[in-house]
C-alpha cells in the first residue's frame, strides 16, 4: 500500500539550509549562522530564502543570550507583545503572570549572564503551563469552577524543574475541565480558538497550551495527556506534542484525572524544543512513587546534524504503520498525509510495514471505563470542605451536593457518574475488571508490535481540527475522536506527534499530525526519528497565519 | 503550607451528628459526638473494683441465660502505629497537638498531591502478622475505600481490600484467674494496612464544625478476629492481649484513651445447638477493656431476653453505641443494606512486594511475644498468678528477665517486683522505666539478703531508697552501716541486755506466757537497729529464756 519513492534530491537540497543543525555540543561553540536565520523577538534577522524548517527556539534563545545578541528582557517583551495581541482572539490563557514579575525574572537571567554565571538551558524561555498543573504563585483551577481562585501552596515537580533551569512561567493555559474533553469547550471559563482558524477548536484537553505555542505566545508549554490530551491538540494546532512514558515525568502537582493514565507532556514548535523540555522535567521524584527510577538519557544530543547529513539517515529502522488507524472513520486527507509521511520515512531509509493491532478498537471503551472510574475517585476530594467553592447548606449532604452540583461542569459530572457506576458492587467485574483485562491485552499487543518494529506510526486524530460547537453536544462523537491516542495511554508508552501535512478539506488549510509510538522509556529514539523527519520534511510551514510575519521558525 | 485555613462546615446544630453520614467511618465515632464524650468523662473516675463487682453480679444472671444460648463475638481492632512519620507523607503525628499543625498537601488531600508509602508501615504490619501467626501475602496492594466525610480529605481512605498483607492467624492468651483462668486461642481473619482519618471538632454553640487533619494519614493496622469469642471477658482479654502484643513489638503505644487502639465488637446470640448465626449487632464507642466486657454482657442479656420473650425478630442488624454512663447500648443507626465503598486498586501506589529474606529478617528480629514469655515463665515454675502479672507489661517482664540474667533467685525476684516495686509504682503512678532501681541492683539486693549480708527488713528499706533515689546496694549498706550482725557473741550480748532490762516479762515468760518470745525478739532487733540475723537471734534467745526454767 505504501509507495516507495526515493527523493534523494530533497535531502541534498537541505544541505543548503543553514539551520537544520540544531544542537552542536557544547552549546557555547555554536556558530551564530547556524541558528540565526530565524529571528527571535521583534527584530527580524535575515530570513533564509528557501525553507521554513523548524529550529529550536530554546537553543536559539540560549545562544543569543550567551552571545549577548539579545537580552532576556527583550526576548520576554517580544513574546509578551505577541501574547497580548493574539490573546483576545485565541483565549489560550486562563491566567497570565504579572508582566512585572516576568520581566523581573528575565532581568535576573540577564544579570546572571552579565556576571558570567551559569544560565540553565531554559534561562529566559517563556513557558506556558496547563492550568491543571500546580503553580505556587498563580491560580490553578484545572478549568473548573470548583477550584475557581484556588492557589496551591506548592509547585508541581515539573514546574519546579522548569524554574530551576531558568524557565519563566508566563501563565496558565486553558483546558477542558480537569482534562476531560478534546476541544477546550469543556472549560468552565472560556473556549480557546485554533490559531490556524479561529472558528475551529484547538483540540484538547491541553488546547490552551497547544494554541499558545502554535501562536508563539510562549516558547514551549506543559500539558497533560491522559488519553491524547497533548497529542491531539498538537495535531490540531500544528505543533510538536510529546507524551512521555508513564512514570518518566513526576505527576506530583498534576491535578489527577485518571492516575494510572495521566502523564505530563510537552509542546514545542520543534522536536528539539519538546525534547529539551522533556529533558528538563524528567526523572524520578520521591514525591511520586509511580515515577520511574530509570536514568534519563541525554535527549539533546539527538538533535545533532550528523545523521541528517547522510543521504539515508534512518537507514535500517523498522517502522510499523498501524492498519486499524487508517480504516473507516478516518478522514481521507488525514490518511493521505500519513501515507506521505510514511513514504518520507522510507525516503529517509526506514522500512515501513503494516502492522495490525486487533485489540485497537477495544481500547476506546476500556479507556473510558478506566478513566471514568479513576476520575470518580480522584474528584471526590472536591467536596467544598477545604478549598474551592463551598456552598453554604443546612446539612452536610446538601453542602456536598450543592458544592459539587455548582462546581462541576456537565462532562465532569457525566464521567463521575459513569465511573461511580462502573465501580459499584455488582458492576465492577463487568466494567472495571474487564477494562483492566483489555488493558493487559492492549499492552501485550503493543509490546509484540514494538518487538518487531522500532516505532509505530498512525494519525494523531481521525480528522483535522473541527468547528467550535460541532461536537459539543455529542459526547460519543467526541470520545470517538480519541481512538488514535487512548491505546498509548493504556499501554503507558511514549508517543510523539509532529505536524506532517495539511488537510485541504475546508477553506483554510489545517495541520495534520503524525503520531510516532515508541517502546517504553525509548523517548530517545522517538526524538531522534522525529527530529530527522521534521528537518527533512520539505514544502510545509507550520507557522499559523496569526503569527506576525517576521517571526518565523 | 500549613497556613491553608480550614473553613468551618456551616451546618445547623441539628445536623451536627448526622449519624446517617457516619455510616462509613467507624473508628472516629466516639470523637465526633459531644454528649458521648461528656458521658464518658463523668464516669471515668469510677473505681475499677466496683465495676468488677457489677460484672460479677451480672455474670450470675448471664450464666443462667447462657445455659440455653450462646454468644458469638468477633472484634475489629484498629491500631495506630507509632511510626515517626505518617503513612503516606513526611508529617509527624503527636497526639494532642494544636489542630492542623501536623499537616501537608499530601495528608490534606490537596489537588495534585500524591501518597508515598512509609516503609515502616510495612515493617510494622509484617511484625504483627508474624506475631499473630499469620500467612503473609508476598504480593499485596493498596485499594481505595470511598466515602464522603469531612474528616476524610481525599474522599477515599487508602486501605487494603481483597489482598490484605496478612491472613489466617491466631492469638493465644490466658484468662485471668479471677475469671476462672484457662488458655484460649482465637483466630485472626486478617491484618491490613490503612490510613486514619482526621477529627471533627464541634463548637460550643453547635452552629458549625471544624476539621482537624492532624490525625489524617496516620498509619493504622486493622486486625479482624474470627468470631471465636463467647463472652465479654474473652473479648476484653482478646483486646488486652492485642494491646500487650503491639506494645511488646513496639509497633504502637496501644493507648485506648488516645485512640491508638480502638475496638469495635460484632455480636450475635443463637440457641445452643443451632448451626447458623443469629442477627449480628455491632457495638462501638468502647473506650476501655472493661467497657468491652460490660457492653458485651449487656448486649448478650438484651438479645437473649428478647429471644426468651419471643421477640427475637426485634434483634436487627444495626450499630449500637455503648453508653458508659448509663451502662447500656443504644441504637446508633440501623443498616440500610451493605454500604458500597467502590473499592478499586490505588493507582498512585505500587504493589507491595515482600521478599522471603525481608520476612525472615523481621522474624529473626522479633522479640519474645507475650504468649512465649508466659509459657517460659510457667516452665520456670512460676505460678500462673505470677506469670500473668510479670508478663502483662513488657517493661516489667524485661525488668524481671534482666534481674534474672544477673543471677537473682527467680522466686525472690518475682516477689520483690510484684510486691514492693509494684506497690511503689502504683502509689506514685510511675512505670517501671521511670523508677531509679535497676535490675542489676535488685539482683544485688536479693543476693545480699540471700547470703545474709543484710536482713530482709533492711533490704526492704534499701529498696525504697533505690527506687526513689537510685544508688547501689553496696554503697547504701556501706554508707548506712547496715551489714547484718551474725556474730553469736555480739547478739548474745544484746539479748542479755534486753533480758536484764525486762525482768518482769522474763518472769511471765517462764511462768508459761511463751508468746512473749516475740516481744523479746523485737526488743533485741531494736537494740541491733534491725541488723541482727533473726535466725541466730531466735536460737540464742530461746536457749536463754528456756535455760533457767
Instruction: Report CA A391 to chain centroid distance, whole Å.
Output: 36
Are the beta carbons of A377 and B144 separated by less than 8 Å? yes
Give the burial class of A539: count Cβ atoms within 10 A of its Cβ; 0-12 exposed, 13-18 middle, 19 or more buried.
exposed
Task: Identify the band that residue B13 occupies on the pLDDT scale cut at 50, 70 and 90.
Answer: very low
The answer to whether residue A61 scores a pLDDT higher than 70 is yes
Instruction: Please give the grid coordinates belonging to residue B33.
Output: 459526638
Q: Tell me whether residue B439 is in a domain.
A: yes
**What is the ipTM for the molecules in this complex?**
0.89
Are the beta carbons of A386 and B344 separated by less than 8 Å? no
Distance separating alpha carbons of residues B202 and B212, to the nearest angstrom: 11
The SS3 call for residue B98 is coil
Question: Hey, what CATH class is A53-293+321-359+442-536 in?
Answer: alpha beta
Q: Tell me whether residue B359 is in a domain.
A: no
Query: What pLDDT shows up at residue A472?
Result: 86
SS3 content of chain A, % helix, strand, coil (to 5): 40, 15, 45
Instruction: Please give the grid coordinates belonging to residue A211.
Output: 494554541
CA atoms within 13 A on the CB side of B69: 27
Please tell me what DSSP assigns to residue A234.
H
- Tell me which residue in B12, B109, B148 faces A400 most closely, judged by beta carbons: B148
Residues B133, B230 share a domain: yes
What mean pLDDT is predicted for residues B198-225? 89
The answer to whether residue B33 scores a pLDDT higher than 60 is no
Long-range CB contact pairs, B248-251, < 8 A, 24+: B248/B131, B248/B367, B248/B368, B248/B369, B248/B370, B248/B394, B249/B124, B249/B127, B249/B128, B249/B131, B249/B366, B249/B367, B249/B369, B250/B82, B250/B367, B251/B79, B251/B81, B251/B82, B251/B124, B251/B127, B251/B128, B251/B221
Question: Nearest CA to CA, how far is A254 from chain B (Å)?
Answer: 5
Domain membership of residue B139 as a residue range: 9-19+34-354
Q: Active-site residue among A130, A160, A163, A471? A: A130
Are the CB atoms for A180 and A256 separated by under 8 Å?
no
Nearest chain A residue to B153 by CA distance is A381
The SS3 call for residue B454 is coil
B336/A contact by beta carbon, under 8 A: no
Domain boundaries, chain A: 53-293+321-359+442-536
Which residues 80-109 on chain B approach chain A with CB closer than 8 angstroms? Answer: 105, 108-109
The single residue listed with the C-alpha cell 519513492 is A5
Task: Name the nearest CA neighbour of B135 among B144, B126, B122, B124.
Answer: B126
Distance separating alpha carbons of residues A96 and B491, to the nearest angstrom: 102
A130 has catalytic annotation: yes
Distance separating alpha carbons of residues A180 and B320, to the nearest angstrom: 43
Please list every residue in chain A whose beta carbon sits closer than 8 Å to the beta carbon of residue B350.
289-290
Percentage above 90 pLDDT, chain B: 48
Please list every residue in chain A whose beta carbon sits closer than 8 Å to the beta carbon of residue B10.
392-393, 399
What mean pLDDT is predicted for residues B315-344? 85
- Tell me which residue in A142, A259, A393 faces B111 most closely, judged by beta carbons: A142
What mean pLDDT is predicted for residues A147-154? 95
Which residues 492-531 on chain A approach chain B with CB closer than 8 angstroms? Answer: none
Distance separating alpha carbons of residues A248 and A263, to the nearest angstrom: 8
Q: Tell me whether residue B24 is in a domain.
A: no
Pairing of strands A263-268, A240-243: antiparallel
CA atoms within 13 A on the CB side of A264: 36
CA Rg, chain B, in Å?
30
Instruction: Report CA B319 to chain centroid distance, whole Å.
Output: 25
The answer to whether residue B26 scores a pLDDT higher than 70 is no
Which residues 269-308 on chain A approach chain B with CB closer than 8 angstroms? Answer: 286-290
Question: Nearest CA to CA, how far is A73 from chain B (Å)?
Answer: 32
Mutate to test the interface with B, among A380, A391, A392, A395 (most CBs of B within 10 A): A380
Are the beta carbons of B154 and A393 separated by less than 8 Å? no
Are the beta carbons of A140 and B112 separated by less than 8 Å? yes
Are the beta carbons of A432 and B344 separated by less than 8 Å? yes
Residues B391, B344 share a domain: no
The pLDDT tens digits of the residues spanning A465-513 come to 999 999 888 888 888 889 999 999 999 999 999 999 998 765 568 999 9
Nearest chain A residue to B19 by CA distance is A396
The answer to whether residue A263 scores a pLDDT higher than 70 is yes
A144 has catalytic annotation: no
Question: Nearest CA to CA, how far is B114 from chain A (Å)?
Answer: 6
The pLDDT tens digits of the residues spanning B147-172 come to 999 999 999 999 999 999 999 999 99
Residues B153, B48 share a domain: yes
Q: Among residues B295, B326, B354, which one ends one of the domains?
A: B354
A156/B contact by beta carbon, under 8 A: yes
Task: Identify the band that residue A354 occupies on the pLDDT scale cut at 50, 70 and 90.
Answer: very high
Residues B452, B415 share a domain: yes
Q: Higher confidence at residue B201 or residue A267? A: A267
Which residues 395-424 on chain A approach chain B with CB closer than 8 angstroms? Answer: 395-397, 399-400, 420, 423-424
Task: Name the nearest CA neighbour of B530 among B492, B476, B491.
Answer: B491
Angle between helices B48-65 and B289-308 in degrees, nearest 10: 30
Query: What pLDDT shows up at residue B2?
Result: 36
A390/B contact by beta carbon, under 8 A: yes
Residues A335, A340, A344: CA angle, nearest 5 degrees: 145
The answer to whether residue B352 scores a pLDDT higher than 60 is yes
Strand positions, DSSP E, A174-216: none
Residues B417, B336 share a domain: no
Are the beta carbons of B1 and A252 separated by less than 8 Å? no
- Beta-carbon neighbour count of residue A145 at 10 Å? 17
Q: Tell me whether residue B27 is in a domain.
A: no
Range of lowest pLDDT (A186-195, A217-226, B11-20):
B11-20
Query: What pLDDT shows up at residue B49?
Result: 31
Please list every residue in chain A whose beta carbon sits closer than 8 Å to the beta carbon of residue B4.
153, 386-387
Are the CB atoms for A440 and A359 separated by under 8 Å?
no
Are the beta carbons of B116 and A400 separated by less than 8 Å? no
Query: What pLDDT shows up at residue B335?
Result: 66
Residues B375, B272 share a domain: no
Residues B444, B539 share a domain: no
The single residue listed with the C-alpha cell 528538563 is A280
Please list every residue in chain B whose beta carbon sits closer than 8 Å to the beta carbon of residue A400.
148
Mutate to test the interface with A, among B114, B115, B197 (most CBs of A within 10 A): B114
Residues B138, B225 share a domain: yes
Are the beta carbons of B342 and A377 separated by less than 8 Å? yes
A447 has catalytic annotation: no
Residues B393, B245 share a domain: no
Q: Which of A313-317, A385-389, B109-113 has the highest mean pLDDT?
A: B109-113
Count of domains for chain B: 3
Please list every residue in chain A whose beta carbon sits closer than 8 Å to the beta carbon of residue B343.
423
Q: Tell me whether residue B3 is in a domain.
A: no
Residues B241, B148 share a domain: yes
Lay out the sheet containing B135-136: strands in order across: B135-136, B166-174, B183-195, B219-225, B69-80, B261-271, B281-286, B318-323, B328-334
Q: Tell me whether residue B529 is in a domain.
A: yes
Amino acid at each position: 500500500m505504501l509507495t516507495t519513492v526515493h527523493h534523494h534530491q530533497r535531502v541534498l537540497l537541505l544541505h543548503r539550509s543553514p539551520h537544520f543543525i540544531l544542537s552542536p555540543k557544547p552549546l557555547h561553540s555554536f556558530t551564530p549562522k547556524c541558528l540565526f536565520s530565524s529571528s527571535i523577538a521583534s527584530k527580524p534577522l535575515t530570513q533564509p530564502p528557501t525553507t521554513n524548517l523548524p529550529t529550536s527556539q530554546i537553543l536559539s534563545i540560549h545562544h543569543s543570550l550567551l552571545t549577548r545578541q539579545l537580552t532576556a528582557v527583550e526576548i520576554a517583551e517580544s513574546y509578551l507583545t505577541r501574547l497580548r495581541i493574539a490573546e483576545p482572539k485565541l483565549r489560550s490563557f486562563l491566567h497570565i503572570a504579572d508582566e512585572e514579575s516576568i520581566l523581573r525574572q528575565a532581568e535576573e537571567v540577564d544579570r546572571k549572564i552579565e556576571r558570567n554565571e551559569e544560565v540553565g538551558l531554559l534561562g529566559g524561555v517563556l513557558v506556558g503551563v496547563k492550568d491543571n498543573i500546580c503553580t505556587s504563585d498563580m491560580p490553578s483551577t484545572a478549568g473548573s469552577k470548583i477550584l475557581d481562585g484556588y492557589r496551591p501552596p506548592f509547585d508541581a515537580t515539573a514546574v519546579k524543574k522548569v524554574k530551576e533551569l531558568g524557565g519563566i512561567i508566563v501563565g496558565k493555559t486553558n483546558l477542558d475541565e480537569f482534562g476531560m474533553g478534546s476541544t477546550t469547550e469543556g472549560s468552565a471559563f472560556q473556549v480557546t480558538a485554533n490559531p490556524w482558524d479561529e472558528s475551529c477548536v484547538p483540540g484538547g484537553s491541553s488546547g490552551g497550551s497547544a494554541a499558545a505555542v502554535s501562536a508563539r505566545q510562549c516558547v514551549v508549554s506543559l500539558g497533560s495527556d491522559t488519553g491524547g490530551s497533548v497529542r491531539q491538540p498538537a495535531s490540531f494546532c500544528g505543533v510538536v506534542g510529546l507524551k512521555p512514558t508513564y512514570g518518566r515525568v513526576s505527576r506530583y502537582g498534576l491535578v489527577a484525572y485518571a492516575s494510572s493514565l495521566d502523564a505530563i507532556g510537552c509542546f514545542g514548535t520543534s522536536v528539539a524544543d519538546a525534547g529539551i523540555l522533556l529533558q528538563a522535567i524528567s526523572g524520578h521524584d520521591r514525591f511520586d512513587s509511580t515515577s520511574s527510577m530509570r536514568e534519563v538519557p541525554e535527549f539533546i544530543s539527538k538533535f545533532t546534524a550528523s545523521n541528517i547529513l547522510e543521504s539515508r539517515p534512518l537507514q535500517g529502522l523498522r517502522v510499523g504503520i498501524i492498519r486499524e488507524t487508517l480504516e473507516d472513520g478516518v478522514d481521507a486527507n488525514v490518511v493521505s498525509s500519513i501515507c506521505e509521511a510514511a513514504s518520507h520515512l522510507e525516503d529517509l531509509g526506514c522500512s515501513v510495514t503494516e502492522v495490525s493491532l486487533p485489540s485497537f478498537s477495544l481500547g476506546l471503551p476500556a479507556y473510558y471505563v478506566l478513566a471514568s472510574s479513576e476520575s470518580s475517585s480522584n474528584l471526590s476530594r472536591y467536596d467544598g470542605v477545604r478549598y474551592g467553592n463551598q456552598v453554604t447548606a443546612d446539612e452536610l449532604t446538601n453542602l456536598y451536593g450543592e458544592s459539587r452540583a455548582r462546581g462541576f461542569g456537565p462532562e465532569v459530572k457525566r464521567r463521575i457518574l459513569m465511573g461511580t457506576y462502573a465501580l459499584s458492587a455488582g458492576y465492577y467485574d463487568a466494567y472495571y475488571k474487564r477494562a483492566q483485562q483489555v488493558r493487559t491485552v492492549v499492552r501485550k499487543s503493543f509490546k509484540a508490535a514494538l518487538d518487531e518494529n522500532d516505532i509505530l506510526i498512525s494519525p494523531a486524530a481521525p480528522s483535522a481540527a473541527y468547528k467550535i460547537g460541532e461536537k459539543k453536544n455529542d459526547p460519543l462523537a467526541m470520545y470517538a475522536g480519541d481512538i488514535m491516542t487512548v491505546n498509548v495511554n493504556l499501554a503507558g508508552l511514549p508517543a510523539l506527534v509532529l505536524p506532517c501535512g495539511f488537510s485541504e478539506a475546508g477553506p483554510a488549510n489545517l495541520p495534520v499530525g503524525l503520531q510516532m509510538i515508541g517502546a517504553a522509556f525509548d523517548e530517545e529514539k522517538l526524538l531522534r526519528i522525529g527530529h530527522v523527519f521534521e528537518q527533512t520534511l520539505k514544502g510545509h510551514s507550520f507557522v499559523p497565519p496569526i503569527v506576525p510575519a517576521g517571526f518565523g521558525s | 503550607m500549613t497556613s491553608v485555613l480550614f473553613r468551618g462546615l456551616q451546618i445547623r446544630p441539628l445536623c451536627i451528628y448526622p449519624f446517617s453520614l457516619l455510616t462509613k467511618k467507624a473508628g472516629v465515632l466516639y470523637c465526633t459526638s459531644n454528649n458521648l464524650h461528656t458521658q464518658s468523662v463523668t464516669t471515668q473516675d469510677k473505681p475499677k473494683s466496683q465495676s468488677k463487682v457489677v460484672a460479677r453480679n451480672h455474670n450470675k444472671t448471664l450464666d443462667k441465660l447462657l445455659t440455653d444460648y450462646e454468644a458469638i463475638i468477633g472484634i475489629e481492632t484498629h491500631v495506630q502505629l507509632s511510626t515517626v512519620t505518617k503513612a503516606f507523607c513526611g508529617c509527624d503525628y503527636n497526639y494532642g497537638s494544636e489542630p492542623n499543625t501536623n499537616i501537608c498537601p499530601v495528608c490534606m488531600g490537596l489537588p495534585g498531591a500524591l501518597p508515598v508509602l512509609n516503609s515502616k508501615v510495612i515493617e510494622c504490619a509484617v511484625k504483627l502478622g508474624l506475631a499473630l501467626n499469620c500467612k503473609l501475602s508476598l504480593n499485596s496492594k493498596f485499594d481505595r475505600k470511598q466515602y464522603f466525610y469531612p474528616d476524610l480529605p481525599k474522599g477515599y481512605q487508602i486501605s487494603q481490600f481483597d489482598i490484605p498483607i496478612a491472613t489466617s492467624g491466631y492469638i493465644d492468651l490466658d484468662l485471668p484467674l479471677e475469671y476462672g483462668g484457662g488458655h484460649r486461642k482465637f483466630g485472626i481473619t486478617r491484618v491490613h494496612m490503612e490510613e486514619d482519618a482526621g477529627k471533627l471538632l464541634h463548637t460550643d454553640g453547635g452552629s458549625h464544625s471544624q476539621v482537624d487533619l492532624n490525625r489524617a494519614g496516620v498509619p493504622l493496622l486493622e486486625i479482624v478476629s474470627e468470631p471465636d469469642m463467647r463472652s465479654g471477658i474473652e473479648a476484653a482479654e482478646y483486646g488486652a492481649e492485642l494491646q500487650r502484643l503491639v506494645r511488646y513489638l513496639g509497633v504502637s503505644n496501644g493507648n485506648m484513651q488516645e485512640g491508638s487502639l480502638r475496638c469495635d465488637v460484632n455480636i450475635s446470640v443463637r440457641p445452643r445447638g443451632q448451626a447458623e448465626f443469629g442477627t449480628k449487632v455491632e457495638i462501638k464507642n468502647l473506650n476501655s477493656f472493661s467497657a468491652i466486657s460490660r457492653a458485651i454482657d449487656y448486649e448478650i442479656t438484651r438479645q437473649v431476653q428478647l429471644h426468651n420473650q419471643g421477640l427475637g425478630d426485634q434483634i436487627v442488624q444495626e450499630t449500637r453505641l455503648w453508653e458508659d454512663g448509663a451502662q447500656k447500648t443504644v441504637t446508633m443507626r440501623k443498616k440500610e443494606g451493605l454500604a458500597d465503598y467502590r473499592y478499586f486498586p490505588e493507582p498512585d501506589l505500587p504493589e507491595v512486594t515482600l521478599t522471603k529474606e525481608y520476612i525472615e529478617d523481621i522474624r529473626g528480629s522479633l522479640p519474645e511475644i507475650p504468649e512465649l514469655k508466659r509459657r517460659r515463665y510457667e516452665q520456670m515454675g512460676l505460678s500462673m498468678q505470677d506469670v500473668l502479672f510479670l508478663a502483662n507489661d513488657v517493661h516489667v517482664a524485661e525488668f524481671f528477665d534482666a534481674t534474672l540474667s544477673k543471677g537473682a533467685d527467680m522466686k525472690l525476684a518475682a516477689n520483690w517486683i510484684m510486691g514492693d516495686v509494684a506497690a511503689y509504682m502504683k502509689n506514685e503512678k510511675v512505670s517501671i522505666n521511670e523508677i531509679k532501681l535497676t535490675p542489676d541492683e535488685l539482683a544485688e539486693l536479693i543476693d545480699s539478703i540471700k547470703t545474709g549480708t543484710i536482713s530482709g527488713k533492711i533490704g526492704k528499706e534499701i529498696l525504697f531508697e533505690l527506687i526513689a533515689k537510685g544508688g547501689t546496694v553496696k554503697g547504701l549498706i556501706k554508707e548506712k552501716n547496715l551489714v547484718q550482725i551474725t556474730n553469736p557473741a555480739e547478739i548474745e550480748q544484746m539479748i542479755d541486755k534486753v533480758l536484764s532490762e525486762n525482768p518482769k516479762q522474763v518472769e511471765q515468760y517462764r511462768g508459761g506466757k511463751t508468746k512473749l518470745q516475740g516481744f523479746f525478739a523485737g526488743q533485741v532487733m531494736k537494740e541491733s537497729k534491725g541488723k541482727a540475723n533473726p535466725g541466730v537471734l531466735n536460737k540464742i534467745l530461746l536457749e536463754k529464756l528456756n535455760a533457767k526454767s
